[in-house]
Amino acid sequence: MTEDAFCPRGICVSCTDAGINAYEFRILTKNSNKVWSNCVNGLNKAIDSGKPPNSLYTVMREDLSVLSVNNNFNGDSKSLLNHLINRVSKKKHMEVEKKPRAARSGPPCKCTDCGKLFNSPYYLTLHLKNSGQKEACALCGTMVFRGLEMKEHLQAAHGKEVHMCTDCPMLFTHDYELKQHTKRAHRAGALTCFDCGRTFPRNASFEVHAQMHAVRTCRACGAQFTNRACYREHRSNCEPGAKPDTKNVPRSRRSNIRDPATFICDYCGKTYLSRPQLKNHIVWIHMDIRPHQCQWCGKRFYTPTRLAEHSVVHTRERNFECDICGAKLVSKMAAVYHRRRHTGEKPYECQSCGEKFISSSRRSEHAKRRHGLGSKLQCMDCPATFVRIHELKKHIAKVHGTQNSDLSITARS
């Protein structure tokens, strides 16, 4: 018999291992007996409860607890499996606390801007969610301006004291809620709308939301709305046939059908169908921001595409070929105009005399020369006006004796 330093004197290693294994087996059998007794007791209680004899039971694998199925499935294993999965999921999420649901009952109310009726103030609040000016009282449905006016209404009509944010029109019941809002929504770099107080995690979402507060003008009667939902409701009543049929519009252009708004430039009154178009018009035309400069002559352009088209003047690369005569042109539009000379296509018609042209620029030049329409370039030293800028420069060099090409030029209507 070999002795082991970790075993008591007189006991061999084999006997020690056998004793340890016997003790572990005893513990395992006691726990198994306890779990199995729990399962048997659960079955006995389910049978004694008086349920139908054809009721089904399932035993959970974790603790052998018994789940009973009250419905009679008549051998439909698929419906039984779905029912058991729902029972298990419900049991796991039973302790999860649900958020309180907003009250959707209340007096009927009406939107004072578009006239739409609602069953409760809850739905009127959803209607005015993207409005930058007005909101509905959740208690009585009265429409008032956001911020201070709503605070005064709650205090006077309902006796309710609220706290108002100093940076946005958000209202809070408790002071700690206001502090948390200020810390989260008005920190440095936070994307918070100062019209309605909503906060966004991404810049793209914030820019899309900013379009919700744009003033929309009805094309039929000229009424203006700051809420897109009010604008749509008014348009559906004022001009029912204004919305085109989606089946006749390409899929890539269906995004603007639901909101056929127009955006008007405050400087010149020009109208655009989208906000990015109006933004580019203001930056390029009125602010005269031209970030792209030609490396040969220093002339500046609005977009890199315009710069690339201008660079052909210096490089003289002819990469566009006419499919009729094989002539090579310097730009794509030059190839289009050249092809129209072969086909005789003239899609641009003068509204005054009916004469047609191959390009809009030639139609505009015709309207200025023949009918005196549009803006002309006026000389700063005399009343003479010209259609093209090179004609004005030639006039200045010949009549006034100067070669400065950077002279100030004004447009005369």
Q: Would you state the pLDDT for residue 309?
A: 79
pLDDT > 70? residue 327:
yes
Residues of the chain with pLDDT > 90, as a percent, come to 6
Pair 69, 17 in one domain: yes
d(CA 282, CA 172): 39
Give domain status of residue 309, yes or no: no
Q: Cα dist. 187→132, 167, 192 in Å?
A: 21, 11, 9
Other CB atoms within 10 Å distance of the CB of residue 378: 17
Pair 81, 177 in one domain: no
Give domain status of residue 347, yes or no: no
Q: Rounded to the nearest 5°, which phi and psi values hold at 349?
A: -115, 140
d(CA 211, CA 256): 13
Pair 48, 164 in one domain: no
Other CB atoms within 10 Å distance of the CB of residue 205: 13
Pair 138, 49 in one domain: no
Top-confidence range, 3-17, 44-58, 71-85, 114-128: 114-128
Mean pLDDT across 55-73: 57
Give domain status of residue 234, yes or no: yes
Give domain status of residue 119, yes or no: yes
Give domain status of residue 384, yes or no: no
Pair 77, 137 in one domain: no
Examine the fold and report which residue of 223, 239, 255 is the final residue of a domain before the chain moves on: 239
Pair 64, 113 in one domain: no
d(CA 346, CA 360): 10
256 DSSP assignment: G
d(CA 20, CA 210): 73
Give domain status of residue 268, yes or no: no
Structural domain span for residue 58: 13-92
Mean pLDDT across 162-188: 88
Pair 24, 126 in one domain: no
Cβ atoms of 3 and 15 closer than 8 Å: no
Examine the fold and report which residue of 218, 239, 260 is the final residue of a domain before the chain moves on: 239
Pair 228, 117 in one domain: yes
Examine the fold and report which residue of 217, 239, 261 is the final residue of a domain before the chain moves on: 239
Pair 232, 116 in one domain: yes
> For 328-376, what is each residue's pLDDT tens digit?
888 788 888 899 989 999 989 998 898 999 888 888 888 888 888 877 7
Pair 138, 217 in one domain: yes
Give domain status of residue 174, yes or no: yes
Lowest-pLDDT choice from 5-19, 54-68, 156-170, 300-314: 54-68
Pair 118, 57 in one domain: no
d(CA 288, CA 281): 10
How many domains does the structure of the chain reveal? 2
Q: Would you state the pLDDT for residue 272?
A: 81
d(CA 260, CA 243): 8
Give domain status of residue 410, yes or no: no
Lowest-pLDDT choice from 27-31, 200-204, 241-245, 334-338: 241-245
Pair 84, 153 in one domain: no
Cβ atoms of 194 and 168 closer than 8 Å: yes
